[in-house]
């Protein structure tokens, strides 16, 4: 079957119109003519008959086998334009539009946090990433996403896998770059005993790790695995959320800071460990609301140790079940809201009823962002501008910051 690609779907698969309906085509671009036989409505390995001018040679030698980068066959300019279009399409689905600023893309080799998989083998261990929609594990020797400091840990991760993985199981190896060095949080490992503890403590020392955690429990903390948020240093819990790249975090923070302007009091909703709250505290009082008690404790400790910041108060609260109400919101000159992928429909509905002058909305899901934005606009807000941030380079993932005002 010969098909012409119409567009890319929001997950990055190309879509063509077949005789019996849409056909999804892997690793193809709009305008390309491809050949292949669909299986269950999808062509997994098409032959490209007429390539797009936006097609490039994938720069990573692992691209075909690894599931980490799905769009390396497209030019950077195409990917940026497509991600902006993903946001426009999500807005249009709710009958909305907004002025978009140029996309900010994180550079290659900038990922400071990643979760690799580790599996024992007869000869040692295999550490890498899974293939696309596959349990096949691909060993990664040259990754164009990961920070060089993370790549340097691969020999250590293999040793950890040999020491602590069962023959049938697979480890999750979350490694994070911190100011104190590398923080390794392992899940899926064998139950802890004295011999395993001693082996892991020795590996943490030999690998100069800042911290090593095993199935949620600390094994060794040799230096504080801190992150710097503005003037504060915060030590998040092992495995806690962190923006994927320092450059992406800086772009999001710059947009949020511009959006809230010179207000004196800010509510930071879904505040995490203080990514936005602590830098904003250099200019305003901040009330940080978050359901994870450990994240708030880390934020509060970081604020108290920093000195010189405006007051930062914290509140442990499930904003999905108990959103802040208009009476509670009236004392803030601006709200920052950064929910998970599910969005924040309940909180958006209460914000729409509030008198908050400015909202800086951060999102990692354009679809739920658009849904929540529709509520805000129905309540009398407008979208002043929207900044798309691509810190998951070569993937379909999209992040953004939007400024809403009354």
Task: Give the residue numbers marked as catalytic.
Answer: 364
Minimal CA–CA distance to 268: which of 364, 366, 318, 334? 334
Cα Rg of the chain (Å, integer): 23
Beta strands in 132-180 (DSSP E): 137-139, 171-178
SS3 382: strand
Minimal CA–CA distance to 350: which of 328, 372, 374, 324? 324
Q: How far, in Å, CA of 359 to CA of 88, rounded?
A: 20
In 17-131, which ranges are continuous DSSP H helix? Answer: 76-93
Contact 30, 7 (CB under 8 A): yes
Beta bridge partners of 43: 25
SS3 167: coil
C-alpha distances out from residue 105 to 110, 245, 300, 378, Å: 11, 10, 31, 32
290-313 burial by CB neighbour count: b if 16+ within 10 A, else e? Answer: bbbeebbbbbbbbbeebeebeebe
């Amino acid at each position: 079957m010969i098909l012409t690609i119409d567009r890319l779907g929001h997950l990055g698969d190309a879509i063509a119109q077949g005789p019996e309906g849409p056909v999804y085509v892997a690793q193809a671009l709009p305008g390309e003519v491809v050949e292949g036989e669909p299986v269950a409505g999808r062509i997994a390995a098409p032959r490209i008959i007429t390539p797009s001018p936006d097609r490039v040679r994938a720069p990573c030698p692992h691209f075909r086998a690894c599931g980490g980068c799905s769009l390396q066959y497209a030019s950077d300019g195409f990917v940026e334009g497509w991600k902006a279009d993903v946001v426009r399409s999500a807005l249009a689905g709710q009958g909305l539009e907004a002025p978009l600023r140029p996309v900010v893309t994180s550079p290659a080799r900038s990922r400071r946090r990643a979760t690799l998989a580790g599996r024992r083998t007869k000869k040692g261990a295999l550490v890498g990433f899974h293939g696309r929609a596959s349990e096949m594990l691909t060993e990664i020797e040259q990754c164009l996403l990961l920070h060089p400091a993370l790549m340097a840990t691969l020999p250590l991760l293999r040793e950890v896998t040999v020491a602590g993985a069962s023959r049938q199981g697979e480890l999750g190896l979350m490694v994070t770059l911190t100011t104190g060095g590398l923080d390794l949080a392992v899940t899926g490992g064998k139950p802890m005993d004295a011999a395993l503890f001693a082996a892991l403590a020795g590996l943490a020392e030999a690998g100069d790790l800042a911290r090593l955690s095993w199935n949620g429990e600390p094994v060794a903390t040799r230096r504080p695995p801190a992150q710097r948020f503005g003037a504060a240093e915060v030590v998040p819990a092992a495995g806690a959320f962190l923006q994927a790249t320092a450059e992406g975090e800086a772009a999001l923070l710059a947009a949020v800071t511009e959006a809230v302007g010179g207000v004196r009091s800010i509510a930071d909703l879904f505040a995490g460990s203080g990514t936005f709250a602590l830098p904003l505290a250099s200019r305003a009082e901040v009330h940080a609301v978050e359901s994870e008690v450990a994240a708030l404790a880390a934020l509060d400790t970081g604020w108290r140790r920093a000195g010189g910041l405006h007051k930062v108060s914290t509140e442990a609260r499930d904003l999905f079940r108990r959103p802040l109400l208009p009476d509670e919101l009236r004392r803030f000159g601006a709200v920052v809201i950064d929910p998970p992928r599910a969005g924040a429909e309940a909180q958006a509905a209460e914000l729409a009823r509030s008198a908050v002058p400015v909202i800086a909305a951060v999102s990692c899901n354009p679809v739920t962002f658009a849904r929540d934005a529709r509520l805000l606009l129905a309540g009398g807000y407008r979208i002043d501008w929207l900044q798309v941030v691509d810190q998951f380079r070569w993937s379909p993932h999209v992040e953004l910051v939007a400024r809403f005002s009354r």
